[in-house]
Amino acid sequence: MKKKLTAVDFRGTPEQEAKLLAVIEKYRGVKGAMMPILQEAQEIYGYLPPEVQKIIAEKTGTPLEEIYGIATFYSQFKLNPSGEVAISICLGTACYVKGAAAVLEEVSKQLGVEVGGISPDGRYSLEATRCVGACGLAPVMVINNEVYGKMTADQVASVLAKYKA
């Protein structure tokens, strides 16, 4: 699934930036350090905003394109933060066969958020995940660690209603 560029504004703090710079300093001179730098940057910020990628590019002398290439290649890296309401829908085999794609499409339609994206106000984020290990409940939707099993497209509206701001 192609990653979506983030739609929310950067809200990084000076404390986060100080942590990031310390991480970069820790790996100075270490070959092949871009993966751990990006992983730790994601731990600090929760995702890899463009502003953070630019800091890493500048401080490590790496072309920004290369960093963006890595960030979009590995599924572990997120270009978008999780929303206040973080929705993930399992597209593992069992869920998929039981119609998870239709649920995903319905959520995306109702919230106006693309898969892998976030609403501009930062409220809703939507992700498609691999098997979450609850195949007996397929198709499964998880919102902020709350599990909704045996979902159908018809039930989407009533579930989402609980999370209205």
- Residue numbers at the binding site for other proteins (CB under 8 A): 2-3, 5, 50, 53-54, 57-58, 63-69, 72-75
Cα dihedral value 34, 36, 37, 39, nearest 10: 120
Minimal distance in Å, beta carbon 136 to other proteins?
A: 30
Minimal distance in Å, beta carbon 64 to other proteins?
A: 4
Cβ distance to other proteins smaller for residue 49 or 83: 49
State the DSSP code for 118.
B
Cβ distance to other proteins smaller for residue 81 or 139: 81
DSSP string, 13-77: -HHHHHHHHHHHHHTTT-TT-HHHHHHHHHHHHSS--HHHHHHHHHHHT--HHHHHHHHHHSTT-
Minimal distance in Å, beta carbon 50 to other proteins?
A: 6
Cβ distance to other proteins smaller for residue 25 or 65: 65
Minimal distance in Å, beta carbon 75 to other proteins?
A: 8
